[in-house]
Each structure stands twice: as structure tokens, then as C-alpha cells.
């Protein structure tokens, strides 16, 4: 790596044709650590092909730099000048630490057991049993036995299937769970301990000021807002009212779990119960705050501010393109990097429509998504405004069986990172916590989801020619080869890198 002369000798350029860009909060360009945007623009103006690589949200700055150095020669050999945008998120910190603590909390374990017990009982319900207004649930011994399967890598109640005639949770069934919560002395004691240990909310910040932890009690990582909701009174009434509030929220979790099963948006009964409990009680500390902040930063980098890298890059490329330069520009986005690319395409389309940035019609992007963590809704909105900006799109992601087997979070949650984001961290169009399908989840390409309106635009655009499921079959043609079997391995897999090089060359 060569070190340039500017910015007190700290501006970094990896070679005459490769560049590292480090951004801070809100996508601000870190001028001390970054190559200049002018260098990138000069490369475009000279007609050199360019590949912009955007890493995923689990990568800190040091890992981002290692990725840049590892991939530099691959991109240069493909005939393009690489630009690596490096940031750090804090998401991995949450997944490694906060989730482990949450799953070990006694109050979480007791709620998980009860909600899982009643959810499975609902799936087991025979048509003739519904009129009784109660559920025949598996006993505590059976539930404990199923939960113990996790220690050996198993999944509780994995064999329990969604019945075709599943009905919504009746009020009497929900109330039965709520009564079980209210009547559990250990759970009541856990809640009292949590409320007794309450203190003013404390906030811990991770990378670049992103909140990675909120505490309202020293005895739990429940969201402080949830604790405020439960702890509405003081004195002798507090315990009773708090327990009733906890029971009602558990009843709401049961309703949401079964509603998702009916809509075929569940991720299996055990993972779905985990997801809905985390959303109801622990969303901020389960990664929701970090995920929202990360996504916002991929948008903020295009704001009208003098130090925002995304805006500076597009302004510079525009100045090169209007002179007649036509470099082939390839955008590679891994995981959250796909969200960044969506915002980039939307910003180019908006600038051209509103007239504040010139962009020739024939200047288009080749786009490569690696296990994209963007939502179908967001991608559809980008297509609506900027489909004409894409000359070619290739999506590399795992087939569903491989996706399910990629247990990035650990034994307590037996699904992949994309499943976790979809089921826990994402938000709906109204800004509220919601299950949301992601573009990189192969399951939503199945015929079972053909009638889901939210998927229509994405499914129509993502033809088989544009999607490569991993691992690819032996004998797959160039540009359609992949051997990646984990979310983090797509930018390391030799077959994927070979395929990206094929795309970069325009083949």
C-alpha cells in the first residue's frame, strides 16, 4: 500500500488505480484516511472502468481495510480501478454480546417457554377442538426436552408443521396464555427484580456514535420504553399491574406468531416465537437501533453537505460523464452494501429528474448484489424511478437450505443473519417494527409467494438470468458460479470473485 502526501501524510491510496474511502458518521468523508474523490473522478474521466465495492454491516473498519487489500488485485486483474468504501457499524458487537445476554435472562427463558408452549398447542389443534375455546398444549417436560435440543445444534419443535386449516388465536386462547404468565411465580419474581433494579436510562455508543445498548434496569436488556410501559404505577399496585402488562404483551406475541404462520411468513415455529419476543420486548438491544442507524447512514451520505462522500462521488462522476467519458461502472454491494446501492441509484434518478445533477441517459451501472439485505419494498421503489440506470444486475445469494443452515447468531436462533434481519430488525413502511421480506432470501422466489403484492415488482425483475443461487451446480457458465455457504463468505469465495470479474468485463 502506498501512502499519499496529503492530509499530514495520512491520505491512503493502495496503488495508482485503487482507492480506499473511509466514512464516518452520516457518511461523512474521513479526509485523513481516504483517497481523494478527485483521484477517482480523474480515473473515470480518463475512461478507466471503475468498480465501487460496499461491504456489509458486520464489518468493522479494520476488517473493511483487510477486505480492500485482499480484493484489490482481483478487481485490477478484471480491468477496473476499485473504490472501496469502508465504514463500521456496531452490529456484530450487538449480535455477539447483547443477544447472548438476552437469551440467558431468566425472564426471557420463561416467556419463551410459555409462548412456545401455547404456539405449538395452537399448531397441534384439531378442528374439533376449536369449539372448546382452550388449547391442549405440550407439557413442561416436553417443552424443556425440545429446548434442550439446541445444545446439540437441534431446533425445538422442528418437526411441527403449519397445518393448512390454522385459525387465528381466539380471545379465550390468548387469555389462557396470559393467565399462565400471571400465575407463574418465578416469572412474577423475575419481573419484580427487574423493576426494583430500574435506574435512569443509560446509553452505550459504539462505532461513530451509533447506540448499541440501552439500559433501563440493571437486571435486564428489555427496552427502556417497554419497562416504562410495564412500570406505570408505584407502591403496592405496581407488581400486579406490571404482571398484567407483561401477560398482555405475551398474549400479543402469541397472536402475531400464529398470524405469521397463517400468512406463511413464519420462519418455523421456534425461530418465529424468538423473533416476536425480541421485537416485543428487546428490539433496541437486539440490534434494531443499530440496524436502523446503519440504513440511515447509507442514505445520509447523499445529503447536500460538503463532506458527504456519496454526494461528492456522484457530483464528481457527473462532471466526468458530461465531458463524454464513458467508463463502465460496476457497483458491488454485500449485505447492507445493497441498501447503499439502492440509495445511490435513487439519488442519481432524483438528481436527473429534478435537474440538480446531470447524468447522461447512456451512462448506466452494472450492479452486483451479494446476499443483499435490502427489502423487496425498497428495491421496488428504486426500480420505479431508476430501473433505466441499470444495464445489468446479478444477485448472488444462498439457496434456502444453505441459508437456513448458516447459523450466524448461534444455537439459540437457528437461522441466518438475513432471517434475523427480516424477522426482528426490519421496519415496515410506517416505521414500526414488522416482519419484512429481504431480496437476498431465496425462499421468496418460491411459487408459494407469487401472490404477495409486496414481492411482485422484485420477483418480476429478478428473472432466473439475474439470480445465482449458491452453491451453484457443477458446470455452471462463467459469471454464474458460486460456492459460498455462509453470509460472510461471498466476498471471499473464489467462484464468486471469478463471476464478479466476468460481470466487470461486461460478459
Among residues 370, 392, 362, the alpha carbon closest in space to that of 461 is found at 392
What's the pLDDT at 430?
A: 78
Residues 261-271 have a mean pLDDT of: 96
pLDDT digits (tens, 9 = 90+) for 349-377: 999 999 999 999 999 999 999 999 999 99
Burial 88-126, CB ≥16 within 10 A → b, else e: bbbbbbbbeebbeebbebebbbbbbbbbbbbbbbbbebe
Ordered by start, the domain boundaries in the chain are 2-88+301-411+432-504, 93-286
User: Please, what is the angle between helix 171-182 and helix 106-124, to 10°?
Assistant: 150
User: In the structure, what pLDDT confidence band is assigned to residue 315 with cuts at 50, 70 and 90?
Assistant: very high
What's the pLDDT at 4?
A: 36
User: In the structure, what pLDDT confidence band is assigned to residue 8 with cuts at 50, 70 and 90?
Assistant: very low
- Please state, in angstroms and rounded to a whole number, the distance separating the CA atoms of residues 371 and 439: 8
Instruction: Supply the DSSP symbol for 134.
Output: S
Helix residue ranges per DSSP H, 11-138: 37-45, 61-77, 91-93, 99-104, 106-124
Per the listing, cell 456489509 goes with 56
Q: How many CA atoms lie within 13 A of 107 on its CB side?
A: 23
> What residues contact 364, with CB distance under 8 A and at least 6 apart?
388, 389, 390, 391
What's the pLDDT at 1?
A: 34
Residues 105-131 have a mean pLDDT of: 91
Residue 10 scores a pLDDT above 70 = no
User: In the structure, what pLDDT confidence band is assigned to residue 321 with cuts at 50, 70 and 90?
Assistant: very high
Q: In this structure, what are the phi and psi dihedrals at residue 392, rounded to the nearest 5 degrees?
A: -155, 140
Would you state the torsion angle of the CA atoms of residues 497, 503, 506, 507, taken in this order, to the nearest 10 degrees?
Answer: 90
The alpha carbon dihedral of 93, 99, 105, 107 has a sign of positive
> What residues contact 13, with CB distance under 8 A and at least 6 apart?
1, 2, 3, 4, 19, 20, 35, 39
Q: DSSP for 247-311?
A: HHHHHHHHHHHHHHHHHT--S-HHHHHHHHHHHHH-TIIIIIHHHHHHHHHHHHTTSSSTTBHHH
Task: Pick the range with the lowest mean pLDDT from 132-136, 292-296, 494-498.
Answer: 132-136
- Please state, in angstroms and rounded to a whole number, the distance separating the CA atoms of residues 177 and 166: 18
What is the pLDDT of the chain when averaged over all its residues? 91
For the chain, the residue count is 507
Residues 146-174 have a mean pLDDT of: 95
User: In the structure, what pLDDT confidence band is assigned to residue 6 with cuts at 50, 70 and 90?
Assistant: very low
The alpha carbon dihedral of 151, 156, 158, 159 has a sign of positive
Q: Which three cell numbers stand for residue 124?
A: 397441534
User: In the structure, what pLDDT confidence band is assigned to residue 2 with cuts at 50, 70 and 90?
Assistant: very low
Among residues 297, 301, 294, 292, the alpha carbon closest in space to that of 347 is found at 301
User: Please, what is the angle between helix 309-321 and helix 336-354, to 10°?
Assistant: 50
Collapsing DSSP to helix, strand or coil, 156 comes out as coil
CB 372 within 8 A of CB 397: yes
Instruction: Supply the DSSP symbol for 387.
Output: G
Hey, which residues does 2 pair with through a beta bridge? 13
pLDDT digits (tens, 9 = 90+) for 461-501: 999 999 999 999 999 999 999 999 999 999 999 999 999 99
CB 244 within 8 A of CB 251: no
The model's pTM is 0.93
Burial 402-423, CB ≥16 within 10 A → b, else e: bbbebbbbeebbbbbbbbbbbb
Amino acid at each position: 500500500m502506498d501512502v499519499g502526501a496529503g492530509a499530514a501524510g495520512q491520505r491512503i491510496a493502495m496503488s495508482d488505480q485503487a482507492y480506499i474511502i473511509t466514512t464516518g458518521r452520516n457518511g461523512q468523508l474521513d479526509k485523513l484516511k481516504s483517497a481523494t474523490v478527485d483521484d477517482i473522478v480523474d480515473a473515470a474521466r480518463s475512461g478507466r472502468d471503475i468498480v465501487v465495492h460496499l461491504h456489509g454491516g458486520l464489518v468493522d473498519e479494520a476488517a473493511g481495510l483487510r477486505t480492500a487489500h485482499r480484493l484489490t488485485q482481483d478487481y485490477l486483474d478484471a480491468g477496473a480501478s476499485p473504490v472501496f468504501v469502508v465504514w463500521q457499524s456496531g452490529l456484530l458487537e450487538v449480535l455477539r454480546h447483547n443477544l447472548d445476554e438476552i437469551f440467558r435472562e431468566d425472564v426471557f427463558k420463561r416467556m419463551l417457554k410459555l409462548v412456545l408452549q401455547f404456539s405449538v398447542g395452537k399448531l397441534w389443534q384439531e378442528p374439533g377442538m376449536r369449539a372448546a375455546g382452550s388449547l391442549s398444549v405440550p407439557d413442561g417436560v416436553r417443552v424443556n426436552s425440545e429446548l434442550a435440543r439446541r445444545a446439540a445444534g437441534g431446533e425445538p419443535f422442528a418437526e411441527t408443521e403449519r397445518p393448512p386449516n390454522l385459525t387465528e388465536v381466539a380471545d379465550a386462547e390468548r387469555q389462557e396464555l396470559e393467565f399462565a404468565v400471571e400465575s407463574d411465580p418465578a416469572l412474577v419474581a423475575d419481573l419484580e427484580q427487574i423493576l426494583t433494579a430500574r435506574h435512569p436510562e443509560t446509553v452505550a455508543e459504539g462505532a461513530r456514535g451509533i447506540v448499541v445498548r440501552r439500559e433501563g434496569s440493571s437486571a435486564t436488556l428489555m427496552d427502556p420504553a417497554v419497562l416504562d410501559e410495564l412500570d406505570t404505577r408505584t407502591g403496592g399496585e405496581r407488581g400486579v399491574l406490571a404482571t398484567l402488562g407483561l401477560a398482555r404483551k405475551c398474549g400479543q406475541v402469541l397472536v402475531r406468531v400464529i398470524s405469521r404462520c397463517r400468512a406463511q411468513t413464519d420462519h418455523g415455529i421456534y425461530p418465529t416465537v424468538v423473533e416476536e419476543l425480541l421485537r416485543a420486548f428487546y428490539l433496541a438491544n437486539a440490534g434494531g437501533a443499530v440496524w436502523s442507524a446503519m440504513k440511515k447512514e447509507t442514505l445520509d451520505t447523499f445529503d447536500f453537505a460538503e463532506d458527504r462522500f456519496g454526494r461528492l462521488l456522484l457530483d464528481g462522476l457527473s462532471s466526468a460523464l458530461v465531458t463524454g467519458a464513458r467508463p463502465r461502472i460496476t457497483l458491488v454491494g454485500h449485505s447492507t452494501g445493497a441498501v447503499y446501492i439502492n440509495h445511490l441509484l435513487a439519488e442519481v434518478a432524483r438528481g436527473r429528474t429534478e435537474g440538480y445533477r446531470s447524468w447522461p441517459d447512456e451512462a448506466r451501472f452494472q450492479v452486483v448484489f451479494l446476499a443483499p439485505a435490502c427489502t423487496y419494498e425498497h428495491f421496488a421503489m428504486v426500480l420505479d424511478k431508476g430501473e433505466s440506470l441499470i444495464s445489468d444486475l446479478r444477485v448472488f445469494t444462498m439457496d434456502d437450505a444453505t441459508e437456513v443452515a448458516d447459523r450466524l447468531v448461534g444455537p439459540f436462533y437457528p437461522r441466518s443473519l438475513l432471517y434475523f434481519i427480516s424477522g426482528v430488525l426490519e421496519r415496515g413502511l410506517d416505521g414500526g417494527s414488522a416482519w419484512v421480506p429481504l431480496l437476498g432470501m431465496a425462499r421468496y422466489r418460491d411459487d408459494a409467494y407469487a401472490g404477495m403484492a409486496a414481492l411482485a415488482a422484485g420477483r418480476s425483475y429478478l428473472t432466473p438470468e439475474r439470480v445465482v443461487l449458491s452453491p451453484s451446480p457443477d458446470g455452471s457458465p462463467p459469471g454464474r458460479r458460486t460456492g459460498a455457504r455462509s453470509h460472510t463468505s461471498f466476498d471471499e469465495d473464489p467462484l464468486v470473485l471469478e463471476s464478479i470479474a466476468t460481470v466487470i468485463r461486461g460478459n
